[in-house]
Structure 1
Amino acid sequence: MADTFASRTIDVTTGDRETVHDLTAACADFLAEVARSQCGLLNLFTPHATAGLAVIETGAGSDDDLLTALGSLLPADDRWRHRHGSPGHGRDHVLPAIVPPHATLPVIDGTLALGTWQSVTLVDTNRDNPRRQVRLTFLGC
């Protein structure tokens, strides 16, 4: 089968509070359209200086635990030199060093090869920017 390349940007509304937004269904929909039964890689990238992508269990408390851990590691207080925006916003600019803005995942027979409890998520602690974008790129072989 010939190599396949497809790319699309999706818009995500994260609101005005910290969130872990599940992207798994959007990834599956994209792959169903472009990958069909191919194998390859799905790359995700969010072009924001204050958001990241994580593979984590959702819905059982782990997503809230991640936000709690990030709050402990990166408190929203006045210690940050980067000071525009809401109080503690400087920590949002440190987030991508810990939760990177990219992820590359295997695709087998047109489906994400995730573990049983794994989900693909956008992690956003920036309450000042409620709209995000994530670029999905499939490279099949």
Structure 2
Amino acid sequence: MQLAAACKVSGSVFRRQPAARRHTIRATASSAAQLQGIAVFHYTELQLDTKPGIHIIDITPQIRAEVERLGVSDGFVNVLSRHTTTAVTINECEPRLLDDIRQFLHKLAPPGEPYLHNDLQYREAPPNWPGGWEAWAAQEPANAHSHLLSMMLGNSETVPVAAGKLALGTWQSVMLVELDGARRRTVGLQLVGSTAGSGSTNEG
């Protein structure tokens, strides 16, 4: 797997959700509040197609674009992976470091260990699964190691927004860590803050 390209998210990987999946609330309590800007509470989702195994994707450009699109001047962005076998982390998106991370995670939770979660014969299918237990077992991956890594890495990060910019360090990037690819993954973005005191936003 070529992790050197993982730092760049192409248009074929990132897909913006339809407008129906976006929720934006603005509130102006008084003329004083208007001088300070308009409050913004906005949720949207990123859709990403990941590669097999451990795949690390820099999603900072998409987060930054959403902040700029809404015209948020000050506030924060909460980034949440909506899966139990992915993680969200902040670190340096350098190709050789990404290789180190992948190798370290494989050592930390080796895929081939005898995990109890992978003993499908002792597990029950979810209620009303189409086709019953056999159909469920046929599609259920042996991915206990991915769940364990997700718990250790964490599935969310919060990034401050100051003066219209993500308050990240020079070498920091927000990255989605796929631990059980390849799959279609969803990352939720909750933006909370205010626009500059102009009385308008860039919301289309």
**Distance of 2:147 and 2:163 partners within structure 1:** 37
Q: Deviating runs (4+, > 4 A) in structure 1?
A: none
Between structures 1 and 2, the one with greater helix share? 2
Are 1:68 and 2:103 matched, yes or no?
Answer: yes
Which residue is 2:117 aligned to? 82
C-alpha spacing 1:78/1:41, structure 2 compared with 1 (3 Å): same
Shift of 1:63: 1.8
Q: TM-score, normalised by structure 2?
A: 0.64
If asked which structure has higher relative contact order (CA below 8 Å, sep 6+), I would say 1
Which residue is 1:8 aligned to? 44
Letter in 1 for 2:38: A
Greater Cα radius of gyration, structure 1 or 2: 2
Are 1:24 and 2:79 matched, yes or no?
Answer: no
Q: How large is the Cα RMSD of the aligned pairs?
A: 1.4
Letter in 2 for 1:96: S
Q: TM-score, normalised by structure 1?
A: 0.90
1:40 corresponds, among 75, 84, 100, to 75
**Distance of 2:99 and 2:173 partners within structure 1:** 14
**Distance of 1:96 and 1:17 partners within structure 2:** 13
What are the Cα deviations for residues 36-91 of structure 1, in whole angstroms up to 9, with x where unaligned? 251101000111010010101012422221111111111111321111414xx111
Which residue is 2:192 aligned to? 139
Aligned length: 137
Structure 1 unmatched ranges of 5 or more: none
Question: Percent identity among equivalent residues?
Answer: 27
Letter in 2 for 1:20: I
Shift of 1:100: 0.7
Structure 2 unmatched ranges of 5 or more: 1-36, 119-139, 195-204
Letter in 2 for 1:30: E
Q: Secondary structure at the match of 2:117?
A: coil
* Contact 2:150/2:179 (<8 A) preserved: no
Are 1:122 and 2:157 matched, yes or no?
Answer: no
